[in-house]
Structure 1
């Protein structure tokens, strides 16, 4: 029987690329969006789901199980970017980002585990970020929310292994998607002490996304993981130097690594 896959945030960007690739490989795919009516031409079904709204999560999971009788793979892809000096980002925006990037995936996982236990099988893939492995200037909140999801996955996967359910992290680097347009940007305040360094860093971040890799690379990586008998705890997908930055953080003294990052972002 064909595997049934749920992809949160499946209407655009990486999620859309993953869904379209899996459809071609014979999977039954359901994506989600807060506004599914906008995606009537999608190659796979798009259901209404907001990761901050537990009721919409439960309804979507129920719809899929009612339709297909099972749910084999869940890809927690929905996420939100956020930039700005930590000092100047409003607390409500920090909390909102964690609601989407951290609590949202946890709510999805909690909603699908009963069905996966019943099946005695399942795979949950949490899409995090290479940024989650390090505190990046003016992306500190994003790094923290994605890093939190990486860490909780390490614990979660050990708790559910006894039910024959696998869980893994996939950390992408920069991909050519519309994520920059959907980020929360703390405003460039005229009298802010961070105005110039934050503005310069923001331009650099946007340039990295614009020059990012093809999202199909992520789709192929996800397909390979789904077909792996015993997935690893962590996967990184991106340009060599983006992945190598994690290795450098592991082997270099903290102050030297910090200096490398500051030089990269042209910070004093």
Structure 2
């Protein structure tokens, strides 16, 4: 029996790559988008879902359950970037980022868990970020929101194991997607104390995304996890040095690691 997959944020980038890969592997895939009517090309069904709107989450989840009778795998992929000096990012933009990257995925998990408990099976894969393992300059809010989702996954996984449900994280590094276009960028303010450092760091970040890995690597990783009976708690996918940076954070003294990051960003 083909597994039923629900992917949030399935209209582009990593989510779309995962959906297209899985449907070609024989899965039944439902992606989601805030505005699916604006998406022209997908090989799988797209449903309306805004992770900041609980009603739209419930409507999409119940649609899949009614049509297919089950949800086997939830891939919490919807997310948004944010950059800027923490002193200058409007607080409402910080809250918006957490609503999308942290509270949104929690609401989607809350929506699918009753059905997965009833099934006595299910897999939830939360797409986080390697940035969630460290506080990155001018990406601090993004790092915090993704790091928070990593930690919540650890807790929820223990709470739901008794029901036969598996939950895991995949932390991608930089991938060649359109995420930079969808980020909230705090403006580089002329005359600001951060003008030069933030402007240079922003240009560097955009370069990393543009030259990032192929999103098909994430799709392959997701496929492997779906076929793993007992997934690990954390997975990392990306360039070697991006993954190795997590190891270095664990073993290096804090100030040496901080200096390494500052040198990388030329701060």
How high is the TM-score relative to the length of structure 1? 0.99
Partner of 1:67: 67
Partner of 1:160: 160
Spell out the pairing of 1:7-86 with structure 2 (5 A cutoff).
Answer: 7-86=7-86
Secondary structure of the residue aligned to 1:236 is strand
Partner of 1:262: 262
Secondary structure of the residue aligned to 2:87 is helix
CA RMSD of aligned residues (A): 0.5
Structure 1 residues not aligned, in runs of 5+: none
What is the count of residue pairs matched by the alignment?
267
**Are residues 1:143 and 2:146 paired?**
no
Distance 2:110 2:41 in 1: 30
Structure 2 residues not aligned, in runs of 5+: none
The Cα shift of 1:191 comes to: 1.9
Distance 2:100 2:40 in 1: 24
The Cα shift of 1:40 comes to: 4.2
Spell out the pairing of 1:117-266 with structure 2 (5 A cutoff).
Answer: 117-266=117-266
**Are residues 1:92 and 2:92 paired?**
yes
Please list the CA deviations of residues 18-43 of structure 1 after superposition, one character each: whole Å capped at 9, or x if unmatched: 00000000000000000011224310
Shift >6 Å, 4+ stretches? none
Please list the CA deviations of residues 183-220 of structure 1 after superposition, one character each: whole Å capped at 9, or x if unmatched: 00001111210000000000000000000000000000
Distance 2:18 2:118 in 1: 26
Please list the CA deviations of residues 136-187 of structure 1 after superposition, one character each: whole Å capped at 9, or x if unmatched: 0000000000000000100000000000000000000000000000000001
Distance 2:41 2:22 in 1: 17
Distance 1:169 1:192 in 2: 37
Please list the CA deviations of residues 212-258 of structure 1 after superposition, one character each: whole Å capped at 9, or x if unmatched: 00000000000000000000000000000000000000000000000
Please list the CA deviations of residues 59-118 of structure 1 after superposition, one character each: whole Å capped at 9, or x if unmatched: 000000111000000000000000000000000000000000000000000000000001
How high is the TM-score relative to the length of structure 2? 0.99
Distance 2:105 2:147 in 1: 13
Distance 1:204 1:64 in 2: 41
Distance 2:132 2:39 in 1: 30
The Cα shift of 1:57 comes to: 0.2
Distance 2:39 2:145 in 1: 28
